[in-house]
Amino acid sequence: MDFSSLAWLAVIPALGFLVVVHELGHYWVGRKMGIKIEEFGIGLPPRAKVLFVRKGIPFTLNWLPLGGFVRFAGEEGGFDDPDSLASAPPRRRIPVMAAGVIANVITAIIMFAIIFAIWGFPNLDKVMVASTDEFASKAGFVVEDVFVSINGSPISADEQVRQLVETSDGKPVSVVVQRDGVEQTLSVTPQYSAEAQRYRFGVGLGNPRESVNIFQAIINGFTYSFRLLGEMFMGFAMLIGGLLGTNPAPEGGLAGPVGIARLTGQVARSGLRDYLNFTALLSLNLALINILPIPALDGSRIIFALIEAIRRKKIPPEREAVVHAIGMMMLLGLMLLVTVSDVRNIISGEPAITMPPTPTPIVRP
């Protein structure tokens, strides 16, 4: 039996771990803020068993393995409970809602730091050949070749490689690469891809890695995570702009649970480093999506608390609950549409996406 077809199951520990970390952030800060917690669940209902009870809070194991949840008092009624989340003032409610996002960012920083400490930090000022197809191999490219120049233009970013190749009009280009410390010159005629509608070398691009100590790894994990968050935010803004017609839509698109499972399986086949790297990227995606001011997400609940703090007047919890319920239905509808697209891509043999995915948002009950 070919077990490689089951590689998509790698999404269960990756996404499940990240969601549990997110909920642990809510749980820990909720406890510190004196919010009553009725249950902490690993996985999604129906409940399989109660693992243990700690300080009156049941920790449960549930049958659906993706994710987890923390149930605060007052989320499903009982808004008048003085210890409920709904009754808490904004100064206590906002930290609880922000804690899940912060936990995911911290997790990404730690995971990147571990990756950099073990496998080195990618030199973002150099571009190397990370993979080759048959055309690239025949052209003379070898994995780990570092680009020095193309037609005399120094190379320090992968976008430069793409731009110079795409504007070559299929004419031979002179490519200088560094291989095992020695510079070599290749004459390559870019291949036109009808599918991508552009000229290409047939190489996957990456950054060469350099050894760093543990302190450098931690600092780099911090700076790299926030750099990626900035790029993800800009990519999301471009995606929204593409939908509104204010700018060209970026390459790629959204991926739902099915698409993420496909991507995770593909990455898992590449090895532990790539799997951990992808999990860290998912953690940042999870943080970014859930801080957006969309009803049912943490960002929206923070907005409600801020409005309440500014007005100095409590918003009726029943009305806020209705807004979040509508938002949850809209999110589930979007998730269904994206899942249909993911399944269609599988049937047609199309790739999942060509950009970091948007994971399933975490919605509070």
Residues in Cβ contact with 291 at an 8 Å cutoff, skipping those fewer than 6 apart = 98, 101, 297, 298, 299, 302
Segments in the chain below pLDDT 70? 1-8, 76-78, 242-243, 245, 247-259, 338, 341-343, 345-365
pTM here? 0.81
CB 180 within 8 A of CB 142: no
Tell me, what's the pLDDT at 175?
95
> Distance from CA of residue 359 to its chain's centroid?
6
Cα angle, residue 81 at apex, residues 78 and 82 outer, rounded to 5°: 160
Tell me, what's the pLDDT at 80?
76
CB 260 within 8 A of CB 14: no
Report the C-alpha gap between 68 and 12 in whole angstroms.
Answer: 12
Report the C-alpha gap between 200 and 193 in whole angstroms.
Answer: 7
Residues in Cβ contact with 147 at an 8 Å cutoff, skipping those fewer than 6 apart = 126, 127, 128, 129, 155, 161, 175, 176, 177
CB 78 within 8 A of CB 84: yes
Radius of gyration of the chain (CA): 24
CB 283 within 8 A of CB 104: yes
pLDDT in tens, 138-162: 999 999 999 999 999 999 988 899 8
Count of beta carbons in the 10 Å neighbourhood of residue 76 = 11
What are the C-alpha distances in Å from 201 to residues 14, 146, 165? Answer: 33, 14, 7
Active site positions, annotated: 23
Tell me, what's the pLDDT at 253?
57
pLDDT in tens, 288-324: 999 999 888 999 999 999 999 999 998 888 888 889 8
Strands (E), the chain: 37-54, 57-72, 121-122, 128-132, 146-150, 153-154, 173-179, 182-188, 191-193, 198-200, 203-206, 209-210
Residues in Cβ contact with 331 at an 8 Å cutoff, skipping those fewer than 6 apart = 294, 296, 297, 361, 363
Report the C-alpha gap between 119 and 131 in whole angstroms.
Answer: 18
Token pair belonging to 241: 């702009």
CB 96 within 8 A of CB 29: yes
Report the C-alpha gap between 135 and 137 in whole angstroms.
Answer: 5
Residues in Cβ contact with 156 at an 8 Å cutoff, skipping those fewer than 6 apart = 125, 126, 127
CB 163 within 8 A of CB 181: no
